[in-house]
A and B are shown apart, each in its own frame.
Chain A
Amino acid sequence: MMDAALLRVEELHVSYNTPTGLVQAVKGVSFELGREKLGIVGESGSGKSQTGRAILGLTAPGGEVRARRIEFEGTDLLHADRRTMRHIRGAGISMIMQDPKYSLNPVMTVGKQIEEAFLVHSKDSKREAYRRTLEMLRAVKIREPDRVYRAYPHEVSGGMGQRIMIAMMMIPEPSIIIADEPTSALDVTVQLQVLAVLDDMISERGMGLIFISHDLNLIASFCDRILIMYGGQVMEECNAAELHRARHPYTRGLLDCLPRLGGSQHELSVLRRDPAWLETRGETS
């Protein structure tokens, strides 16, 4: 599964200077991503989204990113200049956000937006862009690509909107997709259908995916490998298929407190947080 690492992140720290003091959102996260589906799971405030954003240099103003290394296909992202970063965003790594409503331009047709995403990173003609856009819309299993091409974002449903986002992010042919809760706003069946589209495209094109979500169940069934984050740190890393054998008490706690369809109406076990989980392991730079 993991031939060569596409992305290497070592000792990533993200901190914010707030009026109430320094807040450390991410504290020394390291991982590698190959041509695989890597899930990052955690509760709110675990730093999972901050990790995804820091890789693309999209940390909010006021935030400071430090790391020993963030390397994408041999390029050092930590010290990359703006032009390199702009090229990498989109053509190298792209990001799918939670709500397509905020990520699509409301006054531009869907087709034009996808075309634009293609033309930014390519010197091909408009005609080629149009052809590729329709091909892409078909690839994300949109039934009437011609109609959707001419539609405005408000005219499409949530599931369709997220497929359009996927088409838009895939068209410059990046090698990594970072998806931050891409389907959390969708109904469960639609969510799975959108994920299936994403899954197929990723395996066909041999890309890497970082899938960020709070949904342990979903990540375990969708991804190959999982990082479990808590308090800005990686608590545990495991293969998705072996999640049920996870050993860290935090992971166990998360697994146990989920109500299950097959379970009984007994008291759910409650997660007891141990401050010792948050002790940094002496690797801070």
Chain B
Amino acid sequence: MIDIQGLDVVFGHGNKAFHAVRNVSLAVEKGQSFGLVGESGSGKTTVLRALAGLLDRVAAVSGVMTVAGETLQQQRSQAFRRHVQMVFQDPYGSLHPRHTVDTILSEPARVHKLDRIEERVVAALEEVGLNASFRFRYPHQISGGQRQRVSVARALITDPDIVLLDEPTSALDVSVQAEVLNLLMRLKREHGLTYVLVSHNLAVVAHVCETLSVMQNGGIVETMSVQQLREHSSTMPYTRQLMTASLGYDRGAIDAFEEFGQ
């Protein structure tokens, strides 16, 4: 479904050039969930945005990206825009503050000239567990978790095949995170969606995905199945350290932490 070969992303030019992603290759099967894990600055979000075609004005992107058999050009086609959608991290920032939920949800439908817009809006709201009373509210009138549900609903309006998830729950309280994760899992089952999930939280990735890549300094350290991750069968010291760290505070283990290559 998704195939990325030798992706490089460079921000800026000359001396100030910053090589954010180096030679990243990955493949995601249809209906699979693929996780990208790493700390801040590892390039995981940049990979996702490069795939989404959101970097064209700010960075030099090279490499071959194929989605559903279509090799992506610099300018994404409307078909791509319809079939690939994205959910962003910050539920406060990803909804237009002056648009009602109704406007937010009907815009993609209008852009792609879909029919029965009203029906779609109501159906999408229902799908994410919000009733019709949310339809004419503004983002500031609803809670963080509800906003993230609206974001998910917006991604579903055009019946996409692929949804890119950029830290979709990291700004939410854990109880709300659980609800949103359950929602994402259900939607994936019901619609046969393919997910690419970016997160710093190993537990979230392990919960949602089947396969994951650990990224560091713009490159992929290791790609493995979640099963392998659970069995602690990783051989890479960086992955092992991330695992240890995600288990919580352990005074003894911390002194053994290493700095990994700059």
A–B direct touch, CB within 8 Å, in complex?
Answer: yes
Distance from B42 Cβ to chain A, minimum over Cβ atoms (Å): 9
Number of B residues contacting the other chain (C-beta, 8 Å)?
Answer: 34
A-B contact pairs, 12 of them (CB 8 A): A44-B173, A187-B200, A188-B200, A189-B242, A195-B254, A254-B174, A259-B181, A259-B203, A260-B206, A261-B230, A268-B181, A269-B178
Pick the interface stretch among A18-26, A60-68, A161-169, A213-221.
A213-221
Q: Which of A187, A193, A263 has the most CB of B within 10 A?
A: A187
CB distance from B32 to the nearest CB of A (A): 13
Q: Tell me whether A80 is interfacial, beta carbon within 8 Å.
A: no
A258-B245 contact in complex given A43-B175, A269-B178, C-beta closer than 8 Å: no
Complex A-B, nearest 4 residue pairs according to Cβ-Cβ distance, in ascending order: A221-B248, A257-B178, A259-B207, A271-B175
- Are the C-beta atoms of B251 and A261 separated by less than 8 Å? no
Contact A270 B175 (CB under 8 A): yes
* Complex interface: chain A residues within 8 A of B208 (CB): 265
Given contacts A259-B204, A261-B229, contact A192 B179 (CB under 8 A): no
Q: Mark A186-202, 1 if CB is under 8 A from B, else 0.
A: 01111111011001000
Interface residues of B (CB under 8 A from A): 39-40, 144, 173-175, 177-179, 181-182, 185, 200, 202-204, 206-208, 229-230, 241-243, 245-251, 254-255, 257
Complex contacts, A275 vs chain B, CB 8 Å = none
Q: Which residue of B204, B207, B243 has the most chain A CB atoms within 10 A of its CB atom?
A: B207
- B230 touching A262, Cβ below 8 Å: yes
Residues of A within 8 A of B175 (CB): 43, 253-254, 257, 270-271
Question: Which chain A residues lie closer than 8 Å to B207 at the CB level?
Answer: 259-260, 263, 265, 268
Nearest-neighbor residue (CB-CB) of A187 within chain B: B39
A residues adjacent to B (C-beta < 8 A): 43-44, 187-193, 195-196, 199, 214, 216-218, 220-222, 253-254, 257-263, 265, 267-271
Give chain B residues whose Cβ lies under 8 Å from the Cβ of A199: 249, 251
In whole angstroms, what is the CA distance A43 to B182 when docked?
19
Chain A residues in 8 Å Cβ range of B230: 261-262
- Cβ of A267: which chain B residues have Cβ within 8 Å of it? 182, 185
**Residues on the B chain within 8 Å of A192, using CB:** 245, 249-250, 254, 257
17 new A-B contacts, CB < 8 A, other than A221-B247, A258-B203, A269-B178, are A43-B173, A44-B144, A187-B40, A188-B245, A189-B242, A191-B245, A192-B245, A195-B254, A199-B249, A254-B175, A259-B207, A260-B203, A261-B202, A261-B203, A262-B230, A268-B178, A268-B181
- Quick check: B39 and A259 within 8 Å, CB to CB? no
CA A259 to CA B181, docked complex, whole Å: 9
Of the candidates A218, A257, A263, A269, the one whose C-beta lies within 8 Å of that of B249 is: A218
Q: What is the CA–CA distance of A221 and B245 in the complex, to the nearest angstrom?
A: 11
CA distance A187 to B174 in the complex (A): 18
Q: Are A189's CB and B245's CB within 8 A? A: yes
Contacts of A221 in B (CB 8 A): 247-250
B257 adjacent to A189 (CB under 8 Å): yes
CA distance A214 to B202 in the complex (A): 17
